[in-house]
């Protein structure tokens, strides 16, 4: 089963990278961006076919390693079709 | 009396710390490889600076989950002395041995310079050779040193007197211009509730020889060795 985890800085945490990227977009003429947060994503291939089990495992992975929940929040996606 | 320096893939200040402990202070010192399951009966364990595991995922994140860190945690829980410097501080935070997190520098630059540090605690095993309010000159060299904690957590740290060093001006003032990485409340180093685990971004091992321009960092290692010797005497 394919899964994707995305991790972003929490809203209350300053994101200097996101700010710098937004500034660069503005210099390229993309002035319609009012906010930009830089995060990271992880594509995982899981051996389980059980969605509930997959979600439980992914949540634990995020809490224990993939995200530092003090400063980051995470989202878990389990698309029916998976990603290419 | 034995000292250990944790050696992680990507550590690069391990030999500097080893040099200070072994050759400057003449203490028995060993390296503790990242796969070690124990701290080999060391009394003082230093987690040195560098770029452990290439800073993959987050600075210190992978090192914090390595076998040797489980051993460091047991050592700390038993009251043993632990010092985390720079990447070592990041690792101790990631491991939950110290609160907070070290985010990207406000400047988005790698900040490397001699900085002024104001001593906030002079009663710890690591800081007993300093005076409260004393200003030290010790270098920093990091990309992710911007200390973060929630306001509540920061208040708790302050109330418990767990802020040990702050970035300051040469006369000890706390003007923001001297806060090189944008740390909350200019925090450069903190200690755990037990007073035995210290994490700091500046590098005392790089200020431990007159040849390097400052010996302000040496007193920290001397203090730790001295207090360990005293407690070993008492135990005998």
Q: How far apart are CA B201 and CA B65, in angstroms?
A: 20
Whether residue B179 is predicted with pLDDT greater than 60 in this model: the reply is yes
Whether residue B16 is predicted with pLDDT greater than 90 in this model: the reply is yes
Q: What is the pTM of this model?
A: 0.94
The partner residue sitting opposite B58, judged by closest CB among A12, A17, A68, is A68
The answer for residues whose C-beta is within 8 angstroms of residue B169's C-beta and 6 or more apart is B116, B175, B177, B178
Angle (nearest 5°) at CA B126 between B176 and B153: 50
CB contact under 8 A, B101 and A68: yes
To the nearest whole Å, the CA of B91 is away from the closest chain A CA by 12
- DSSP states of B2-63 as a string? EEEEEE-TTB-SHHHHHIIIIIIS--EEEEEETT-SS-TT-SEEEE--B-GGGG-SSTTTTG
The partner residue sitting opposite A71, judged by closest CB among B105, B106, B148, is B148
Nearest CA to A68 out of A7, A6, A4, A12 is that of: A7
B19 catalytic? Reply is no
To the nearest whole Å, the CA of A70 is away from the closest chain B CA by 7
To the nearest whole Å, the CA of B106 is away from the closest chain A CA by 7
Instruction: State the pLDDT at residue A12.
Output: 87
Contact of B173 with B115, CB cutoff 8 Å = no
Token readout for B144 is 């992710």
ipTM metric: 0.85
Q: What element of type H or E holds B147?
A: strand B146-148
B116 catalytic? Reply is no
B15 vs A80 pLDDT, higher one: B15
Instruction: Read off the pLDDT of residues A39-74 as tens digits, 9 standing for 90 and up.
Output: 999 999 999 999 999 999 999 999 999 999 999 999
Instruction: State the pLDDT at residue B235.
Output: 84
Instruction: State the pLDDT at residue B150.
Output: 94
Q: How far apart are CA B55 and CA B95, in angstroms?
A: 15
Whether residue A83 is predicted with pLDDT greater than 80 in this model: the reply is no
Q: Which range (A72-81, B61-70, B164-173) has the least confidence?
A: A72-81
Q: What are the start-end ranges of the H helices in A13-69?
A: 16-27, 51-61
User: Considering chain B, what percentage of its residues have pLDDT values greater than 90?
Assistant: 97
Whether residue B7 is predicted with pLDDT greater than 80 in this model: the reply is yes
Confidence of residue A79 (pLDDT cuts 50, 70, 90): confident
Whether residue A82 is predicted with pLDDT greater than 70 in this model: the reply is no
Instruction: State the pLDDT at residue A80.
Output: 77
Q: How far apart are CA B196 and CA B78, in angstroms?
A: 10
The partner residue sitting opposite B103, judged by closest CB among A12, A64, A71, is A71
Instruction: State the pLDDT at residue A14.
Output: 85
Instruction: Read off the pLDDT of residues B80-97 as tens digits, 9 standing for 90 and up.
Output: 999 999 999 999 999 999
CA distances from A43 to A1, A5, A67, A75, A77 (A): 11, 7, 14, 12, 10
Instruction: State the pLDDT at residue A81.
Output: 67
Indicate the average pLDDT of chain B.
97
Kindly report the number of other CB atoms within 10 A of residue A53's CB atom: 12
Instruction: Read off the pLDDT of residues B31-67 as tens digits, 9 standing for 90 and up.
Output: 999 999 999 999 999 999 999 999 999 999 999 999 9
Q: What is the mean pLDDT of residues B11-40?
A: 97
The answer for residues whose C-beta is within 8 angstroms of residue B38's C-beta and 6 or more apart is B71
């Amino acid at each position: 089963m394919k899964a994707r985890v995305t991790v972003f800085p929490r809203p209350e945490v300053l994101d200097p990278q996101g700010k710098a990227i937004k500034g660069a977009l503005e210099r390229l003429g993309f002035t319609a961006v009012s906010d930009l947060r830089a995060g990271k994503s992880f594509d995982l291939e899981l051996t389980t076919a059980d969605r509930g089990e997959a979600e439980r495992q992914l949540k634990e992975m995020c809490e224990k390693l993939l995200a530092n929940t003090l400063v980051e929040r995470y989202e878990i996606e389990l698309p029916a079709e998976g990603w290419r | 009396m034995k000292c250990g320096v944790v050696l992680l893939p990507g550590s690069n200040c391990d030999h500097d710390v080893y040099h200070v402990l072994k050759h400057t202070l003449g203490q028995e010192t060993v390296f503790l490889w990242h796969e070690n399951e124990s701290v080999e009966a060391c009394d003082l364990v230093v987690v040195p600076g560098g770029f452990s595991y290439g800073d993959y995922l987050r600075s210190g994140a992978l090192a914090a989950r390595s076998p040797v860190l489980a051993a460091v945690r047991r050592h700390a829980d038993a009251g043993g002395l632990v010092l985390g410097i720079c990447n070592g501080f990041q690792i101790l935070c990631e491991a939950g041995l110290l609160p907070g997190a070290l985010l990207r520098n406000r400047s988005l630059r790698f900040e490397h310079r001699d900085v002024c540090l104001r001593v906030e605690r002079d009663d710890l095993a690591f800081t007993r050779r300093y005076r409260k309010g004393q200003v030290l000159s010790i270098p920093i060299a990091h990309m992710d040193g911007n200390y973060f904690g929630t306001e509540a957590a920061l208040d708790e740290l302050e109330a418990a007197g767990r802020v040990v060093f702050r970035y300051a001006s040469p006369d000890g003032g706390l003007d923001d211009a001297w806060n090189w990485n944008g740390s909350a409340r200019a925090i450069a180093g903190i200690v755990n509730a037990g007073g035995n685990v210290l994490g700091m971004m500046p590098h005392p091992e790089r200020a431990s020889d007159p040849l390097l321009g400052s010996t302000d960092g040496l007193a920290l290692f001397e203090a730790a060795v001295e207090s360990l010797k005293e407690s070993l005497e008492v135990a005998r």
